[in-house]
Amino acid sequence: MQDYSTYIQYNEDNSVKVPFGRAAEWYIANHPLLKNRRLKCQSRQYTPGLVKKGIINVERVEGAVDFVEWTTKVGKTKSTNRVDDILTLTSEGHELLMQINAKEKRDRLCWSWVMFCAGDGNSCQRVCGGIGKCKEGCKNFEFSNGLKNYQDMHLCQVRVKSEVHLSSLTTSHPLLIEIHGTHAPLNIIVNSTPKIERLNLLKSVRDNVLLSRRADHRSAKGIKSKLLASMNGANEGTLSQALTNQRTICTDNKLKQLVARDDRRLKDHVSSWTILHNLIVKNLKPKGYILYYQQPNLSFPEDSPQRFYQLTLSDEFWLKNTRDYSQNCIGIDGKYDLNIDHVPVLSIVAKNNAGFATPIAFGKKFTFLNNFSKVEIIYHILYTIYIYHILI
């Protein structure tokens, strides 16, 4: 894991200020009080309301894929929160900030989040005062859900509070983090490190795991080897600590469960292809990598080209090389095992004047009801490339 210690700004009241992004999680994971602990979190306050009003935007840190995104009944896109999220001001937000700086309006919180120790291992002092178990007559048992509630903060007194004000969004260290409480009183000696039963990987590690699965279709065993490769040459103490806190490495069963859950999540979106659609619209299309993109329209007859899902990607450098240096020789091959759904992906190459293959584009085309022949797929992709050659 990258060292972000130089990004941490320490305050006199034991709080810290950090920039948005990976530094926040790094600080929390490496704090002495939280090194071998698992944290849960409440809902993040104020942020959704200000996003809805058009004052701020929420952006993901580069490489973030471990989150769930959905569309509400009114067409709004929502997603789960991450501690490395990035808040930015909109034009309306900048106007409000000018009014705040001029003291015409009061400053406002745009991020307020509480994370808390999960109390794993029954070694923490609970809010009622008991160590590992509640005291007799604890009021927490009076509630209908009691200690069965997964989000119960009664199991430990450690709190990690983070907040951001609108006035700090334009500063280099906008996120304020404070850690309160202790796991157990100082006069009580805890002989063993609590065993963490649930998944406790860092978000950055989970991102790498899911990217390895989605992009390279690695198995859980292959992903585990990739995680262990980052610890080559580490001493016994470092390896023991990594296995204890499970932030950079985890058991085989937990890794298999994470991969299986992500596979199910992707399959749940296959009908509308929302994840791929968002990637195309938000990332690939603005960068000019999309030659042609068509979503299927099932209202057309079964033999209509409009029922096709078609995606053709290329690069301006590839196309210029093909136009200037290639010969009249084009090769196409399809692969069916590059994705979970075994949708055919076609690679298209041309022979350059040196006799070597140069890539032209990659295409994906299928229909949800009929299996069209490979010739029809090739025809549509080549036609798209031909039109693009004319345009450039």
Integer CA distances (angstroms), 152 to 36, 38, 79, 185, in order = 20, 14, 23, 21
Tell which residue, 154, 160, 195, has the closest CA to residue 181.
Answer: 160
Q: What pLDDT shows up at residue 354?
A: 81
Please state the rounded mean pLDDT for residues 283-310. Answer: 79
At 372, the pLDDT band (50, 70, 90 cuts) reads very low
pLDDT of 11 strictly over 60: yes
Q: What pLDDT shows up at residue 70?
A: 78
Q: What pLDDT shows up at residue 117?
A: 93
Integer CA distances (angstroms), 226 to 213, 236, 320, in order = 11, 19, 36
Please state the rounded mean pLDDT for residues 177-182. Answer: 94
Bridge-partner residues for 308, per DSSP?
Answer: 367
pLDDT of 210 strictly over 80: yes
Q: What pLDDT shows up at residue 368?
A: 47
pLDDT of 182 strictly over 70: yes
Q: Are 286 and 279 in contact (CB under 8 A)?
A: no
Give 92-124 pLDDT, tens digit per residue: 999 999 999 999 999 999 999 999 999 888 888
Q: What pLDDT shows up at residue 373?
A: 44
Tracing tokens 């791929």 back to the chain, one arrives at 276
Q: What pLDDT shows up at residue 166?
A: 96
Domain ranges, ordered by start, for the chain: 5-190, 199-268, 274-391
Task: Provide the CA 259 distance to its chain's centre, in angstroms.
Answer: 14
Q: What pLDDT shows up at residue 391?
A: 46
At 226, the pLDDT band (50, 70, 90 cuts) reads confident
At 128, the pLDDT band (50, 70, 90 cuts) reads confident
